[in-house]
Structure 1
Amino acid sequence: MKRLKQMTLHVFSVPFFRRSLHNSSDGLRHVDAHLIKTGFDPRTCNANNRIEIFLQTGRIFEARKLFDEMPLKNMFTLNKMISGYVKTDRLDDACQLFEESPDRTTVTWTILITAHSNRKQVSAKPDHVTFAALLGGCGCFPGGSGEGEDGSRLVAVQVHAQILKLGFGSTLMLVNTLVDAYCKCGFLSSARCLFDAVSLKDPVTFNAMLTGCCNHRMYGHVFDLFLEMHRSSMKPSHFTFSGVLAAATGTSDTRLGRQIHCFVLKVNFGWNVFVNNALLDLYSKFVGDDADDSSAGSTTMAEATKVFAEMEEVDCVSYNIMISGFARKEARFECVFLLRELWERTSDLKLLPFASVLTIASGEGDVEMGKQIHAIAILTNAASDLLVANALIDMYSKCGDLDSAGVIFEKMNERNAVTWTTMMSGFVRNGFYEKALQFFVDMRSSGMSVPDRATFSTVLRATANLASLGLGKQLHSYVIRSGHTANVFTGSALLDMYAKCGCMNDADQVFAEMPERNIVSWNSMISAYAQNGQGKAALRCFQQLIRCGLHPDLVSFLNILTACSHSGQVEDGLRLFESMTKLYNLNPRREHYACVVDMLGRVGRLDEAERMIKLMPFEADEMLWSSVLNSCRIHRSNSSLSKLAAEKLFSMDSIKDSAASYIMMANIHAAEGQWEDVGRVKKSMRDRGLKKNAAYSWVEIKQKIYTFSANDRNYLQVEEMKQLFEELKKKMAEEGYQPDSSCSLRNEEEDVKVESLMYHSERMAIIFSLVYTPTNSPIRVMKNLRVCLDCHAAIKIITKIVQREIIVRDSSRFHHFRDGVCSCGDYW
C-alpha cells in the first residue's frame, strides 16, 4: 500500500508546473525527471502545451504541423486540435480529423455536436456528420410510439433508412455509429448483421460490436470478436480492453483475466487509466481459483491492490472500485483508509462511494458509522440518489433501526423494486413478518412492475417464518404466473417455505423440478431435512451434492451436522466433522463445534461433550452453554457440568436480559424437587425484570389463524371439543399414558400438576384441529416455545388413537408424529 501514501501528478497540472518554473532550468529538469519516473512522456506533455499556445494565438497551421509530427498523442491532443478547428470555423477540417481518429471520447463527440448545433448556416441536406450526431443520442431517446428502448430502436431504424436513402450506407463512420446505436438499443441482431456486412472494418467497428455484446452479457461473442480483431492485426484501444476485461469479469474466469492482463502489458497499455480501472474491477470481483480456499478472495484483492499501487494515474473511479472491492471482503480498515484519501483528493464529495461504505457499516452493525456517512450524503446532496437511499435503508435495517429506514423510505420521491425489497427484507430480518407481507401488498398496489427474484425470495421468507401454508401456496402460484420458477434463488426460497411449513413432499417436489441447482439450493434441501428430523435423507442429499461435483461449504456442514444431531446419528456426525479439515480444507467455526457438543449431549455422552468444549479453539458462548444445560436437564446426569454451564451462562452479559436460561435452570431444579433453588432462580428473574414468555400455539384452518394459550379453556366450552377432550383423556390412559409432572415448574399437589399438563397450548390446538379439519388430513401446529417432554409423549399416543399425522413446529425443529412415533427419534 506504499503507493497509496504518495502524491500523484495529474497530467493537466504539468503545464502549470512548467510555466511556473520557466526561469529555472534545474526545476524543469526535476519536473521532467519526475514525469519519466512516474510513466509520463514529457515530450507529449510539452507538445500539448505548445499546441495549446499556438491555438490560443491563432496559429492553427503551426499547431496542426506539430500535431502531425508528434510520435505519441493522447486524447487531450486530439480534443484540443479538433476544438481549435471548431473555434476558427474550420468545421470540415475538424470533421476530417474526427473521422481519421480511431479513439474518441464523449468530449470529442460533444465538441463536434456543439459545433454543428451552433453553425449559423445549416445545409438543407444533412451530411454524414449530422447523422452521426443524431445516432449518438440513440439509447436515450424516449421518442417514437414506444418508450425507452423501443423508442430508441424506432429512431435508429428511421435514421438508418434515411442514411441508405441519401447514399451514405457505405460510409464507415456512419456504419460504426449505427452498430453502436443498435447495440445501445438492444438490437444486437441488427447490429451483428450490419457488422458482418461490412467488408472493411476498423478498430472502432470492432469496439462498438464488442462493447454491445459485453453490455448484453454475450461474453462468448466478446472473446470471439477480440480474437478476430487480433487476427486482423488491428491495434486494440482502451475501449477494446475495457470491454474484454469486463467480459472476463462477467465470466468469473480468473485465468483468462490474468492472460488478458499480460496482453495489456505486452502492448503497452498499462498506463491507461480506463484499462487499469477495468483490471481493478476484474480482480476486486474475483473470488479466486478455488471457491473453497478462504484466502482466494484476499489473494485477488491483493492483485487489485498491486495494480492500483502501480497505476500512473488514478481517478475517482479507481478509488471507488477499490473501496467497493474491500467492502465486499469486509475489510473495514482498507475501506476507511482509501475513503479518507479520496476525500482529500477530490473536491466533489458527491463522487464518494456511499453505497459501498454503507455496506461495511451494515455488515458490522455499526449504526454510528452509518449515521456519519448519512450526514455526509445529506451535505453533498447524494442522499437523494436512488442507489444511496437504498443503501441507507439497508444499513439502518441491518442495524435494527427500522424507524430511520422508514423515514428515508417515506421521503423518497422515486422508488424502485430494490427500494421495496430492501424495506421488506429489513422487516423480515427484524422479525416483523406481517409488516413485510403488508409492504408486498402495498408494492403491488403502487403500480410497481412484476416482482423480481429478490422480492419473491424475501416475501417467501416472511411466509416461511409465519408457517402460513395457505399464503405460501398462493405465492407459489404467483411465482409460476410471473415466470420465476426456473430461477435458482426463488426455487430455494420456495423449498425453504414448504420445509418450514412441514410439507416435505412439496419441498422434495420443488427441489426435483429445479432446472438449475447451486450450493444454496443443496444447502436449503439439507437444512429442510435437518429441521424435519430426516437425518438419513439429509445424509443422502449431502452425498448427492458431492457426486454432482460441488464442494460443500461451511453452511453445508453446519446443516448436515444439525441433521445428525437432531436424528441421533452421532458417528456419522463425528466423521463428517473430522472431514471438514482433512478432506475439504475448511476450518470449523464456533457454530460447528457447538453443533457437535449439542449432538453428543442429546444422546447423553456428556463427558465427551465436555472434552470437546475443552479442545475448542474458541471461547464457549451462550448458545453452546445453553445446549449443555438443556442436555443435562434431559438426561438428569452430570450435575457438576450442569452447574458449570449455569455459572458460565449467568456470568455472561448477553444472558442477563434473557429469561430462557433461567427457565432451563429452574426446570432442572424442579425435576430434582429442589424447590428452594427454583425459588431463588425465579427471584433472580424478578430482580432483573425478566419474565417467561407466555406459551402459545396456533393453527391455520381455511386461511384463518386460531391461537391457543396454556390453560385457556374457552374453546372447551364448545360441546364437541369438550367431548373429544374427555374421550382422548380416557383412551390415552388405556394406552398407558403416564403424565410427567416434572415438566411442571409449580410447587403444587401432584394432581394439580397433572391437570395443568392436560391444558398445554399445543394439546388445545390439536383437539381444535381434530374437530374442524377433514378426517385423514395432516394437522399442523406451530408453537413459540419448545415442546415439553410430557406433551411429546402425549402426542405420540394421540396419533395412535386418532390415526392421523400431527406435525408440530416448536422453537427448535419440526416433529412429525405418526402411529405413535416421532420423526425426531426422541432426540430434540
Structure 2
Amino acid sequence: MPPKPNLSFPISTLTYTNLLQSYAHSLLLTKQIHAHLLKSPTLPNPSLFLLNTLLNSYSKSSDASSAHHLFNTMPHRNSVSYNSLISAYLHSGLHYRAISTFIDAMYGHVKLDKFTYAAALSACARAGDLDTGKVVHGLIVAGGFGRGVFLVNSLIGMYTKCGDVEMGRRVFEGSEELDDVSWNSLVSGYERVGLGEEAVRVFVRMVRGGVDLNSCVVGCVLKACSGLNSLLGIGKAIHGFVVKVGLNMDVMVGSTMIDMYSKNGLLHEAVKFFRFMQDRNVVVFNTMISAFKQVKEGTLNELTREALGIYLDMQREGIRPTKFTFSSILKACNLNEAFEFGKQIHGQVL
C-alpha cells in the first residue's frame, strides 16, 4: 500500500481523485479523504467526477451504508453513480437493494450502460431472482446491447445460476460472439444442476472447437463426473487429457480429480494421483483425507493407515491443518486400530 497521504493542507480535484484511486480499498483512508473534502474551502461544490470516484472507493471498501449516504447527498447523478452504488450493495451482499437501485435508475431515465446491466444481472443471479433477470434481459435486447460477449456472458451466468440452464444455453447458442468465459459458464451451469452428461458434451465441443481450456472448466467437468459410474470412463479420459496439456499439476484440477476418483469408489487411484502431485496445498490434503471417510470399520485397514500417513505428511510439509482436516482425519480414525492415533489428534485439536 502507498504511504499514508498528508491531508493537512488544501488540495485540488486531481489530487483528491488520485488519492481516492490509490487508497480505494482502504475504508479508513477513504473516510479521512471524504472528511477533508467536506471541509475544503477550495472545493465547496465538488464535481460529479470527483464524487463518483469517492462513491467508487466506498463501493470497493464494501461500505454500502456510506455509499448510500453519499449517493443521496449528490446534487447530480449519472450511470457511473448508479453503477457504483449497485456494486457497493453487491459487495455487501445486499442483492435486493442492488436490484432496487437498478430499477430506480431505469425509472429515473438514467442512460444505462453495459456495466449497469451486468451489475443488475449479477444481483439477480446472487438473489436467485429469475423473473427480474428476464426483465433485465429484455431491456438489454431492447437497448441494443444483446450481441456483445460481455453481456452475453452475464446473461448465461444469470440464467444458469438461477437454475434455468436451458435458457442459458439458448443465449449461448444464439450468440455470434463467444469466449472461454461463455463456455465455462455453460459447463458449470449444467454441473450445478446435476446434468453431468450435458456438461461433458459441452466440454467435448470445447476441445473439438479448439477453445482455450483453464483449470476452472476442467474442474467443473471432473466434478460433473464425480459419483456417476456412467461418466467414470469420461473422467479417466479427461485425466489423460489434462496430463497431456499440463493441467494435472494445477491445485484446483488436482483436488477435483482426487474427489472424482474417490466418489467413484477408486480410492487407490485417488491416492496414486495425490502422490503424483508436486504442488499440494491444504485444499488438496483436505480433499485426499476426506476421501477416507468412506472407509468402514473392519475394512480397508491399509487405506486407513494411508490416511494417517497423509496427515503426517501434511505436518512434515509444514501445512497447517484446518477444522475440516481434523474432522476428516478423526472420522477416518474411527477404526479400532486407529483409535489411539485418533486420541492423539483430538489432543492437537484441543
Query: What's the TM-score, normalizing by structure 2?
Result: 0.70
Which residue number corresponds to residue 489 of structure 1? 252
CA contact (8 A) 1:261 1:279 kept: no
* Partner Cα distance (2:227, 2:116) in 1: 35
CA distance in 1 between counterparts of 2:329 and 2:164 reads: 32
Q: Select which of 461, 474, 480 maps to 2:223.
A: 461
Change (3 A) 1:461 1:262: same
Query: Deviations for 1:72-124, whole angstroms, at most 9, x for unmatched residues?
Result: xxxxxxxxxxxxxxxxxxxxxxxxxxxxxxxxxxxxxxxxxxxxxxxxxxxxx
Match of 2:125 in 1: 362
1:262 aligns with 2:262: no
Q: What does residue range 762-777 of structure 1 map to in structure 2 within 5 Å? A: none
Aligned residue number for residue 338 of structure 1:
101
Note if 1:390 corresponds to 2:153: yes
Q: Show structure 1 runs of 5+ residues with no match.
A: 1-219, 250-255, 285-299, 584-828
Paired residue for 2:327, among 546, 560, 576? 560
**Is the contact made by 1:245 and 1:278 (CA closer than 8 Å) also made in structure 2?**
no
**Conserved in 2, the CA contact under 8 Å of 1:366 and 1:399?**
yes
1:316 lines up with 2:94 in the alignment: no
Q: What whole-Å deviation, never above 9, does each CA across 1:101-152 have from its counterpart, x for those lacking one?
A: xxxxxxxxxxxxxxxxxxxxxxxxxxxxxxxxxxxxxxxxxxxxxxxxxxxx
Could you tell me whether the CA contact under 8 Å between 1:433 and 1:465 is conserved in 2? Answer: no
How much has 1:457 moved relative to structure 2?
1.5
Change over 3 Å in CA distance of 1:422–1:333 after alignment to 2 = closer
> How is 1:676-687 mapped onto 2 (pairs within 5 angstroms)?
none
Higher normalized helix content (fraction of residues): 2
Choose from 476, 499, 514 the match for 2:279: 514
Structure 2 residue matching 1:390: 3-state secondary structure: helix
Instruction: Note the C-alpha offset of 1:259.
Output: 3.4
Q: CA deviation at 1:521?
A: 4.2
Q: Does the 8 Å CA contact 1:277/1:321 hold for their aligned counterparts?
A: yes
Matches within 5 A, 1:640-659: none
**Deviations 1:353-401, CA, capped at 9 Å, x for gaps:** 3333333433444432322222222222233232322222223223433
What's the offset of the Cα at 1:416? Answer: 0.5
Question: Is the CA contact (8 Å cut-off) linking 1:535 and 1:567 kept in structure 2?
Answer: no
1:565/1:354 CA distance change after superposition, 3 Å = farther
Kept in 1, the 8 Å contact 2:199–2:221? The answer is yes
Which SS does the other structure have where 1:341 is aligned? helix
Quickly say closer, same or farther: Cα 1:412–1:238, change in 2 above 3 A: farther
Matched position secondary structure for 1:451: coil
2:28 corresponds to which letter in structure 1? R
Higher Rg of the two aligned structures: 1
Unmatched runs of 5 consecutive residues or more in structure 2: 297-302
Structure 2: distance between partners of 1:274 and 1:329: 18
Is the contact made by 2:30 and 2:58 (CA closer than 8 Å) also made in structure 1?
no
Paired with 2:333 and 2:241, the residues of 1 have a C-alpha distance of 34
**1:548 Cα offset (Å):** 4.3
2:214 aligned residue (452, 465, 475): 452
Residues 262, 432 of structure 1: alpha-carbon distance in 2 compared, 3 angstrom cutoff: same
Q: CA deviation at 1:320?
A: 1.9
Q: Shift of residue 523 of structure 1?
A: 4.5
- Contact 1:241 1:264 (8 Å CA) reproduced: no
Indicate if the aligned counterparts of 2:96 and 2:123 stay in contact, CA closer than 8 A.
no
Q: State whether residues 367 and 399 of structure 1, in contact with CA within 8 Å, keep that contact through their aligned partners in structure 2.
A: yes
After superposition, the CA RMSD in angstroms is: 4.4
Tell whether 2:20 aligns with 1:237.
Answer: no
**Aligned counterparts of 1:535 and 1:329: Cα–Cα separation in 2:** 43
Q: Distance in 1 between matches of 2:304 and 2:107?
A: 57
The answer to whether the Cα contact below 8 Å between 1:527 and 1:563 also exists between their aligned partners in 2 is no
User: Structure 1 residues 365 and 531, CA, compared in 2 at 3 Å: closer, same or farther?
Assistant: farther
- Secondary structure of residue in 2 paired with 1:400: coil
Q: In 1, are the aligned partners of 2:58 and 2:67 still within 8 Å (CA)?
A: yes
Which deviations, in whole Å up to 9, do the C-alpha atoms of 1:262-319 show, x marking residues without a partner? 35644759942243144133212xxxxxxxxxxxxxxx44454455456565432232
Alpha-carbon displacement from aligned partner over 1:802-824 (angstroms, at most 9, x marks no partner): xxxxxxxxxxxxxxxxxxxxxxx
Alignment of 1:505 with 2:271, yes or no, is yes
Would you say the 8 A contact 2:258–2:271 is kept in 1?
A: no
Q: CA deviation at 1:352?
A: 6.6
Distance in 2, matches of 1:337 and 1:405, equals: 24
Percent identity over paired residues? 22
Q: 1:163-312 maps to which residues of 2 (within 5 A)?
A: 223=2, 237-238=15-16, 240-241=18-19, 243-245=21-23, 249=25, 256=26, 258-259=28-29, 261-263=31-33, 265-266=35-36, 271=46, 272-284=50-62, 300-306=63-69, 308-309=71-72
Aligned equivalents of 2:60, 2:83: Cα separation in 1 = 13
Q: Tell me by how many angstroms 1:350 deviates.
A: 4.2
**Residue 479 (structure 1) aligned with residue 242 (structure 2):** yes
In structure 2, the CA distance between the partners of 1:242 and 1:453, relative to structure 1 (3 Å rule), is farther
- In structure 2, C-alpha distance between the alignment counterparts of 1:492 and 1:310, rounded to whole Å: 49
Higher relative contact order (CA 8 A, sep 6+): 2
Q: 8 Å contact 2:95–2:126 — kept in the other structure?
A: no
Say whether the 8 Å CA contact 2:255–2:284 is kept in structure 1: yes
Cα separation, partners in 2 of 1:334 and 1:490, compared to 1, 3 Å: same
| Contact preservation (8 Å) 2:196, 2:224 | yes
Q: Distance in 2 between matches of 1:424 and 1:529?
A: 28
Report if aligned partners of 1:343, 1:352 keep a CA contact under 8 Å in 2. Answer: no
1:150 corresponds in structure 2 to none
Distance, in Å, in 1 between the alignment partners of 2:293 and 2:91 is: 30
Give distance in 1, aligned partners of 2:169 and 2:293: 36
- C-alpha separation between the residues in 2 aligned to 1:437 and 1:466? 12
In structure 1, what is the Cα distance between the partners aligned to 2:252 and 2:74? 39
How far apart in 2 are the matches of 1:485 and 1:243? Answer: 39
- Is the Cα–Cα contact under 8 Å of residues 324 and 357 in structure 1 kept in the other structure? no
Tell me what 1:380 maps to: 143
Alpha-carbon distance, 1:532 to partner? 5.0
Q: Identify if the C-alpha distance between structure 1 residues 364 and 524 changes in structure 2 by more than 3 Å, giving closer, same or farther.
A: farther
- TM-score, normalising length: structure 1: 0.33
| Kept in 1: contact 2:200–2:221 (CA 8 A) | yes
Are the aligned partners of 2:153 and 2:181 in contact in 1 as well (CA < 8 Å)? yes
Q: Give the equivalent residue in structure 2 for 1:434.
A: 197
Rounded Cα–Cα distance in structure 2 between residues aligned with 1:525 and 1:469: 18
Aligned residue for 2:171, secondary structure, equals helix
User: Structure 1: how far apart are the matches of 2:177 and 2:206?
Assistant: 13
Q: Distance in 2 between matches of 1:348 and 1:459?
A: 40
Q: Deviations over 1:468-527 (max 9, x none)?
A: 5554454344434544455433333233233334323135325x6225x36x54553443
Alpha carbons 2:125, 2:133 under 8 Å: kept: yes
Alignment correspondent of 2:171: 408
Number of aligned residue pairs: give it: 319
Q: Residues 258 and 498 from structure 1, CA distance in 2 versus in 1: closer, same or farther, beyond 3 angstroms?
A: farther
C-alpha separation in 1, matches of 2:120 and 2:22:
28
Contact persistence 1:393–1:422 (CA under 8 A): yes
What is the CA–CA distance in structure 2 between the aligned matches of 1:370 and 1:343, rounded to whole Å? 14
Q: Against the structure 1 CA distance between its residues 315 and 560, is the aligned structure 2 distance closer, same or farther, given a 3 Å change threshold? A: farther
**CA shift for structure 1 position 443:** 1.5
* Distance (Å, rounded) in 2 between the aligned partners of 1:457 and 1:485: 11
- Work out the CA distance in 2 between the residues paired with 1:562 and 1:302: 43
Alpha-carbon separation, structure 2, partners of 1:521 and 1:329 = 30
